Structure 1
């Protein structure tokens, strides 16, 4: 069975409302002959003449009268479904957004982001979940609305990414540590005992690559999965942590931070989301909030 032409619903709705081929043609911006052909197709499809001649005009058949209300409702529903989304009313928006972030993000950016969201959309709730890997499956299945981190090939080609800020790595030690006084040279830095941060348990990274041309090697005393753990250890030991500066401002309170004595490439922290959320007004608003908060906080040591 051939699929019906749903465009005929609109034509039938107008024909039944106008009761005239000429007026219906004018309303739909068609020629009278094109409208007559459409009426012929409607008659063939429904198996009913629908409109029949009565004097100078056309009158609906019982089948047409039966269809008139149903067709009108269907056309209105389709028009509503295809109409652009209504303007977003933040004051009445009630929604929970899930953001997947690495440690340091909530401590550093969370207070300002929550305050911004509460001021503009008091019915919106933010749920922060830890980022344990770079897989994008949670964005695809909708369990996560926004992701933050360094975009990479493992994010998936369909994931949207927008830069939030650039970050550089700094060294961090407890107050009173020997590196908190005097110039931190590559030799002094490498000679200390270090904390390596790696979710995969690796003991080498960009810092080691930067030390290698100088003939220097870090002494890695321990390996942890996250920045918060590294900084907690540095706070109470003589170990040296190397962490991204802006991402860990709040976590580094009370510690001594210093620029690395070797050139280590900066990283770009990005906002990630699935393209199906591109046009969602509420999601677009939240992305703007995150960009504004993350872009408006200056780096401090």
Structure 2
């Protein structure tokens, strides 16, 4: 009976507001996200503090920071709201009439591979579905899926937490990009040349290209990284007219200008890897998310 009395005190809208507050960590931004007034969100926060017996969010400068109790609530709150949404959703998902926003996390490499075909599919089959794309390190993308800030992450994730599910999109291997004039006509890219040249490293918030470094470490060799940057799109332009070498996933080099640039295999073994889609197991009943996953998988070779 006590449990029922406790439940009667909780308005589901309060949980939605708490989810927005924990995500935005700012009353005004949470109000804008929910299309509510700032006083309404402030009043809801006061009720939540009373119900849960905790400040939940405390002021820090211009924003708010969550208390330890609030941080404990992030994952179970996201799971509870997802289950309620799945329970209340119509029995059948209708792509042509659906209106929904999905949050996808991926690198700009992943975006270049996944998005062009996916966007064409959505415009033809589900024009009411919108996408919000974010990017970050592997760790931050998985964390976003776990805490509910991200619906789907696409990338390479050697370590997968138990609460997440994944499906492979494709197998990928590495290739090297060089200026065509930086090698003599009959020369090959051998290991001594590779090690003697300066390199461009694509690095996202400290994650680095670990597979390449591990392969070199196995040979007891190291390369000199002359430029480290987080932007995939600009990296090929840095190679033209220089002695630099860029070692990256091969699919990102499909549209390279073959007149001035040369794509060759690495002169040592770098294991291939699997590019996957990741979502939370609590979203298994979400028909719209399942449909979106299927469309991404179907377009993986495009």
Q: Normalising TM by the smaller chain, what interval?
A: 0.5 to 0.7
1:109-124 matches, within 5 Å, as: 109-124=114-129
The answer (yes or no) to whether the contact 1:99–1:126 under 8 Å persists in 2 is yes
Contact 2:178–2:245, Cα closer than 8 Å, also in 1: yes
Among 282, 285, 289, which residue is 1:283 paired with? 289
- Listed as ranges, the matches of 1:57-96 within 5 Å are 85-96=90-101
Rounded Cα–Cα distance in structure 2 between residues aligned with 1:96 and 1:145: 10
CA distance in 2: counterparts of 1:131 and 1:203, whole angstroms: 12
Alpha-carbon distance change, 273 to 203 in structure 1, aligned in 2, over 3 angstroms: closer
TM-score by length of 1: 0.63
Q: In 2 relative to 1, CA 182–123 (structure 1 residues): closer, same or farther, beyond 3 Å?
A: same
TM-score w.r.t. the length of structure 2 is: 0.63
Ranges in structure 2 where 5+ consecutive residues have no aligned partner? 5-85
Spell out the pairing of 1:1-301 with structure 2 (5 A cutoff). 85-135=90-140, 136-153=142-159, 155-178=160-183, 182-199=187-204, 201=206, 205-211=210-216, 216-235=221-240, 237-246=242-251, 248-249=252-253, 252-254=256-258, 255-294=261-300, 296-297=301-302
Alpha-carbon distance between aligned partners in 2 of 1:92 and 1:122, rounded to the nearest angstrom: 8
How far 1:113 sits from its partner (Å)?
Answer: 1.0
Shift in CA distance, 117/271, structure 1 to aligned 2, threshold 3 Å: same
Counterpart of 2:41? none
Gap regions ≥5 residues in structure 1? 5-80
Deviates more, 1:179-188 or 1:86-95: 179-188
Separation in 1, partners of 2:145, 2:209? 30
Q: Provide the aligned C-alpha RMSD in A.
A: 3.0
Length, aligned pairs only = 218
Q: Which runs of 4+ in 1 moved over 4 A?
A: 1-4, 81-85, 200-205, 211-216
- Counterpart CA distance in 2 for 1:116 and 1:180 is 43
Distance 1:96 1:222, change over 3 A: same
